[in-house]
Copies of this chain bind each other. A is one copy, B any other.
Amino acid sequence: MTDTRLDVLAIGNAIVDVIAAADEDFIEREGLIKGGMQLIDAERAEELYSRMGPGREISGGSAANTVAGAAALGARCAFVGQIADDQLGAVFAHDIRAHGVRFDTPARAGDPPTGRVLILVTPCGERTMNTLLGASHFLPSESLDHDLIRDSAILYLEGYLWDPEQPRAVMRQAIDIARAAGRKVALTLSVNFIIERHRADLQGLIDQGLIDILFVNEEELICLTQDDDRESALAKVSAKVPLLVVTLGADGALAIQNGQRFTVAAEPVERVVDTTGAGDLFAAGFLAGISRGRGVEDCLKMGAIAAAEVISHYGARPEADLKALVAQKLG
């Protein structure tokens, strides 16, 4: 479809998920907001870890999950994110490369360690995330390969990484490089607290027309527009963004492109085990569709298929053969 070397280059948190089952009581006792994501410091991480159940360590990070999924669907992807020179960093680097994603960001020596998210999964599969960003905070501008950005059809950015100063500057720089080369810029807003803290900045990017594709869920759409009427919120954002994609949880998703609306139902799932990564994998399917030259309707369907796969098991990286699933369901 494109004549670039890569389809998607993503910048995001380089993080390993530590996933444990938990009951509702535990969430309440620890004062956590079920279904939410909060940043925690090392001391709180230690404390919470000591009290939570046995874990599975599976590589994560929102944008990293997205390129892992997009690569599984045949897109040519690269990831930029900061790991530390430690065992969890080695796990992250191995896994993303094993998913077929190019990853060249050198590990950072010394403290802090590689970031991790303590994820508590309650009985209906809902995840509550407690994030220690660690080394992810310290992404230097040297981590950007300008030529590679110019040679990637889509630059994909993760809102979670908008908080720390250094990575935010790196992402702003990457936007300039990509746009100067005529590439598309995609952004996922990730979570409400990021929108609240960086509203002017993020809204500014959108208003200036720097974002070609925007991924949000319904809560983030409302938070961004401060308008709880879905239709009017959609109208406001889609007037500024050429391609707006809104995930709606169990209600599927919709996209608005140049005033035209497309919808998709959620793919049926036998049992929702762990919703971690649902949005990330939706974006993966959608972006992989774009990179294969598919229409918006097919892109939505590919997003729904990839999201359904990832919520049917623990962890936010695809396990099944996504290409085969798409071929079977979409042809």
Contact = CB atoms under 8 A, between A and B. Distances in A.
A86 interface: yes
Contacts of A55: 91, 94-95, 98
Nearest to A96: B54
Interface string A91-129: 100111011000000000000010000000000000000
A95 B20 CA distance: 10
Most interface-central of A54, A58, A59, A319 (chain B CB within 10 A)? A54
Instruction: Give the residue among A21, A95, A96, A317 with the most B Cβ atoms within 10 A.
Output: A95
Contacts of A98: 20, 52-55
A290 interface: no
Contacts of A94: 49-50, 54-55
Nearest to A87: B87
A102 to B, nearest CB: 15
Contacts of A88: 87
A54 B87 contact: no
Interface string A25-68: 00000000000000000000000011011111111000000001
Chain A interface mostly: mixed
Interface in A159-200: none
B54 A56 contact: no
A319 to B, nearest CB: 7
Contacts of A81: none
A95 B21 CA distance: 12
Nearest to A98: B54
A247 B4 CA distance: 56
A118 to B, nearest CB: 11
A99 B18 CA distance: 15
Contacts of A53: 98
A20 B58 CA distance: 11
Given A49-B94, A86-B87, A319-B21, A99 B58 contact: no
Contact of A56 (B49, B58, B87, B96): B58
A16 to B, nearest CB: 8
Contacts of A57: 56-58, 91
Contacts of A314: 56
Nearest to A97: B50
4 nearest A-B residue pairs (beta carbon): A57-B57, A54-B95, A87-B87, A54-B98
Given A54-B95, A57-B58, 20 more contacts: A18-B91, A21-B319, A49-B94, A50-B94, A52-B98, A53-B98, A54-B59, A54-B68, A54-B94, A54-B96, A54-B317, A55-B95, A56-B56, A56-B57, A56-B58, A56-B314, A56-B315, A86-B86, A86-B87, A87-B87
